[in-house]
Structure 1
Amino acid sequence: MSQDKPLNQSLFEAPPMGEQERMIEAILFATAEPQSKKQIEDRLPHGCDVSEALVHLRKRYEGRGVHLVKVGDGWAFRTAGDLGFLMQKESTETRKLSRAAIETLAIIAYHQPVTRSEIEEIRGVSVSRGTIDLLLELEWIKLGRRRMTPGRPVTFIVTQEFLDHFGLETPRDLPGVKELRDAGLLDNRPPPGAVPGVLKSEDDGSGGEEPDDYEADDDDQDDMFG
Structure 2
Amino acid sequence: MDRELAELPPALRWREWMLRVEAVIFAAAEPVSREALARVVGRDCSIDLLIDDLRAELRDRSYEIVAVAGGWQHRSRSAYASAIRASQTSTRNAAPVMSDFEAMVLMAIAYFQPITRGDLSKIFGKEVSRDTIASLRNASFLASGPRSPTPGAPYTYVTTKQFLSAFGMQTLRDLPDIEALEDAGLLSRKEMVEISKYGQDTTDES
Q: How far 1:95 sits from its partner (Å)?
A: 6.5
CA offsets per residue over residues 77-108 of structure 1, 9 Å max, x none?
Answer: 10011111111023569975334322211111
Indicate if the aligned counterparts of 1:119 and 1:127 stay in contact, CA closer than 8 A. yes
* Aligned with residue 50 of structure 1, among 47, 51, 55: 47
Q: Is the 8 A contact 1:11 1:45 kept in 2?
A: no
CA distance in 2, matches of 1:173, 1:144: 21
Aligned to 1:205: none
User: How far apart in 1 are the matches of 2:89 and 2:181?
Assistant: 26
Structure 1 residue runs of 5 or longer lacking an equivalent are 1-6, 191-222
Which stretch of the first structure deviates more once superposed, 64-73 or 110-119?
110-119
Report how far residue 37 of structure 1 moved: 0.9
Deviation at 1:62, TM superposition (A): 3.4
Calculate the TM-score normalised by the size of structure 1. 0.65
Query: Partner letter of residue 116 of structure 1?
Result: R
Instruction: Please state how far the C-alpha of 1:28 moved relative to its aligned partner.
Output: 1.0
Q: What number of residue pairs does the alignment pair up?
A: 182
Q: Determine the C-alpha separation between the residues in 1 that align with 2:151 and 2:7.
A: 55
Greater helix percent: which structure?
A: 2
Q: Which runs of 5+ in 2 are unaligned?
A: 189-202
Q: Which residue matches 2:140? A: 139
Matches within 5 A, 1:142-221: 142-148=143-149, 151-177=152-178, 186-187=184-185
Question: Once superposed, what is the RMSD of the aligned Cα atoms?
Answer: 3.5
AA at the equivalent of 2:32: Q
The 4+ residue runs of structure 1 with deviation greater than 6 A are 11-15, 92-95
Question: Which range is displaced more, 46-55 or 110-119?
Answer: 46-55
Aligned to 2:193: none
Preserved contact between residue 124 and residue 187 of structure 2 (Cα < 8 Å): no
TM-score, normalisation: structure 2: 0.71
What SS does the corresponding residue of 2:61 show, helix, strand or coil? coil
Q: Distance between the aligned counterparts of 2:186 and 2:24, measured in 1? A: 46
Q: Could you tell me which amino acid in structure 2 is paired with residue 144 of structure 1?
A: G
Query: Comparing 37-46 with 90-99, which one deviates more in the overlay?
Result: 90-99
The 1:58–1:179 alpha-carbon spacing in structure 2 relative to 1, beyond 3 Å, is farther
Percent identical pairs in the alignment equals 30
Match among 16, 25, 35 for residue 22 of structure 2 = 25
Largest Rg, 1 or 2: 1
